Amino acid sequence: MKPINPPAPVGSLSNRRLSFGWWVSLSIVLLGLGVMAVPQQLDTRLWSRQEIWGVDRPLVRHTLSRAIDENRYPRKITIRRGNTNYPATVEYTLDPALQDAVKAVFEQYGPDYGVFVALDPDNGEILALVNHRRDGDHSENLALKATYPAASVFKIVTAAAAIDLGKADATTVIPFNGKSTSLYRKNVLSHKNNQWTRRIPLSSAFAKSVNTIFARLGVFSIGAHSLTDYAEAFGFNRDLGADFTLASSSLELDSADPWSVAETAAGYTQNTTLSPVHGAIIASTVINKGQRIRPTLIRKIVGDDGLILYEADTTPSEQTIHSDSAGQLQVLMRQTIEAGSARTSFKKFASGTMVKVDVGGKTGSLSGRAPTGRYDWFVGYAEKNGRKLAFATMCINRDFWYVKSAFVARKAIEHFFRDNG
């Protein structure tokens, strides 16, 4: 008869293995039941998932939107989910130095209204949300409104559609009659070549913002339905998925009326509106090879216990146009700086530390009613050594031109790349 193995002595290897395994099993059960407290030294990547705490982008938007609408950015907040309150600290994406630099420009020149928005095209993080009012009232965040006419900034969309559909490229020569700043039905809908007809490439038409050429592209090359499709792909009439309340830019186009298509394509209507945040997103789509990103203002929210309750997901939302088309748009936008409507504001820019900064943009100007005044836009991008900035500047002046938006943008670019280039 074989002897029965005696029990292992206390403290033996087998007992230690049994004890360790028992404690692991018990710990897993207790954690599942929520009995054990979570040690703060645990890897927060495991314990910070919003799926666990229930703090997602819509809840963040709901919690912070009122303050941001009022141009406030509180650090200490309380997030309420169900019956639970989470005292927490907010980490914003804003660049305080860039904010201050642009504020100083607005204060120096004093337009009636001024807005500057800048973001990182790679991840959608908003680096600047600057608001200025000559009367000193800063209780309203003007950057989030979409009551402003898009004006010729919409020509970016029209050009993108024409290029992406294969109807034109930067070198395509297009004839037109009339002044570059005017728009008349006969020159668009009943064009006839004559001795006064001018012929210029699309790059020059974009740089000098020739209304008639873009109106004709909209009516005869793109069409109402495709123009609407591309506008919506760029974010018009859509929720852009921001983590704060952002008014939707609007496009109102009568597809049965060729003149409505012409005015829309040329940006010669008050029915197409744009928010400054959306303007920066349009520019970022160009420099980001056609990918439209979601704007993000809240990078992270950390509970008072040190656990990350929320962390932004900065995945690009969709491919708006082909990357080759985006490259063609950059060619057009560079021409605005080099030989177009922003040339004066960027005179002698490419020198010193700015010599290698690639800048492109689009100007726009039109009268508006909310608030009343003459609107001046500059939407664009800047890049140096892989570091990128997308931005939108808008100045509204009632009686006098105090400063051009393109000049404000230039000062912002100089600050950003002087410190970070």
First to last CA, the chain: 85
pLDDT in tens, 252-290: 999 999 999 999 999 999 999 999 999 999 999 999 999
Q: What percent of the chain has pLDDT over 70?
A: 86
In this predicted structure, what is the pLDDT of residue 216? 97
In this predicted structure, what is the pLDDT of residue 350? 80
In this predicted structure, what is the pLDDT of residue 29? 47
In this predicted structure, what is the pLDDT of residue 313? 85
Indicate the pLDDT class of residue 245, thresholds 50, 70 and 90. Answer: very high
Indicate the pLDDT class of residue 53, thresholds 50, 70 and 90. Answer: low
In angstroms, the CA 48 to CA 98 distance is 30
In this predicted structure, what is the pLDDT of residue 414? 96
Indicate the pLDDT class of residue 419, thresholds 50, 70 and 90. Answer: low
Measured at the CA of 218, the angle between CA 256 and CA 150, to 5 degrees, comes to 95
Indicate whether 317 pLDDT > 80.
no
Task: List the domains of the chain with CATH numbers.
Answer: 96-420 (3.40.710.10)
Closest CA to 376 of 397, 355, 356: 397
In this predicted structure, what is the pLDDT of residue 52? 55
pLDDT in tens, 116-142: 999 999 999 999 999 999 998 889 999
In this predicted structure, what is the pLDDT of residue 207? 97
In this predicted structure, what is the pLDDT of residue 399? 86
Q: Are 296 and 123 in contact (CB under 8 A)?
A: yes
Mean pLDDT value across residues 230-251: 96
Q: Are 174 and 140 in contact (CB under 8 A)?
A: no
Q: Which amino acid is at 295?
A: P
Question: Which residue do the tokens 């997308």 mark?
Answer: 390
pLDDT in tens, 93-103: 999 999 999 99
pLDDT in tens, 332-349: 999 999 999 999 999 999
**Number of neighbouring beta carbons within 10 Å of residue 155:** 28
The larger pLDDT score, comparing residue 391 to residue 138, is at 391
pLDDT in tens, 161-219: 999 999 999 999 999 999 989 999 999 999 999 999 999 999 999 999 999 999 999 99
In this predicted structure, what is the pLDDT of residue 297? 97
Closest CA to 224 of 255, 185, 251: 255
Residue 10, C-beta contacts closer than 8 angstroms, at least 6 positions apart: none
In this predicted structure, what is the pLDDT of residue 1? 40
Mean pLDDT value across residues 54-71: 93
Of the candidate ranges 199-203, 304-308, 390-394, the one whose mean pLDDT is the lowest: 304-308
Please state, rounded to an integer, the average pLDDT across all residues of the chain. 88
Phi-psi map region of 123: left, alpha, beta (phi>0 left; psi -120 to 50 alpha): alpha
Q: Are 259 and 189 in contact (CB under 8 A)?
A: yes
pLDDT in tens, 14-44: 444 444 454 445 444 444 444 344 444 444 4
In this predicted structure, what is the pLDDT of residue 49? 47
In angstroms, the CA 54 to CA 354 distance is 45
Question: Which residue do the tokens 């009516």 mark?
Answer: 219
